[in-house]
């Protein structure tokens, strides 16, 4: 039996205010890496934020999604209209 395959549905969303498109179902971390953002945001006392474990255990990939802070980018699939903030102010 052959499964019908085709292009993945595309969603539009915003990363730090910039409109972008992504394949529905991919994670925010996968999208950021595909966009060549291998590190996103910084915290004053630590290294750059990025996907490290990729399985939801290290907390190093957190972003803000639709105003909700500390969302794990490696676990959250992109959705239509999502507002993702990757940067934290460093004082
Ligand atoms: S990369 Fe470790 S929790 Fe997301």
> What is residue 47's predicted lDDT score, i.e. its pLDDT?
61
> What is residue 89's predicted lDDT score, i.e. its pLDDT?
45
Domain ranges of the chain: 10-85
> What is residue 88's predicted lDDT score, i.e. its pLDDT?
47
pTM for this model (two decimals)? 0.81
> What is residue 91's predicted lDDT score, i.e. its pLDDT?
39
CA distance 39 to 12: 21
Which ligand 1 atom sits closest to the C-alpha of 58? 2
Q: What is the CATH number that goes with domain 10-85?
A: 3.10.20.740
Ligand 1 pocket mutation, candidates 52, 70, 86, criterion most atoms within 8 A of CB: 52
> What is residue 41's predicted lDDT score, i.e. its pLDDT?
66
Distances (CA, A) of 47 to 39, 52, 60, 69: 9, 12, 9, 18
Q: Which residues of the chain have pLDDT under 50?
A: 88-91
């Amino acid at each position: 039996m052959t499964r019908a395959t085709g292009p993945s549905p595309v969603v539009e969303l915003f990363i730090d205010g910039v409109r972008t498109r992504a394949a529905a179902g991919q994670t925010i971390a996968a999208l950021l890496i595909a966009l060549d953002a291998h590190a996103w945001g910084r915290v004053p006392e630590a290294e750059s934020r990025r996907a490290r474990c990729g399985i939801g255990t290290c907390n190093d990939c957190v972003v803000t999604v639709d105003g909700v802070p500390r969302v794990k980018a490696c676990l959250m699939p992109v959705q239509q209209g999502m507002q993702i903030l990757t940067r934290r102010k460093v004082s």
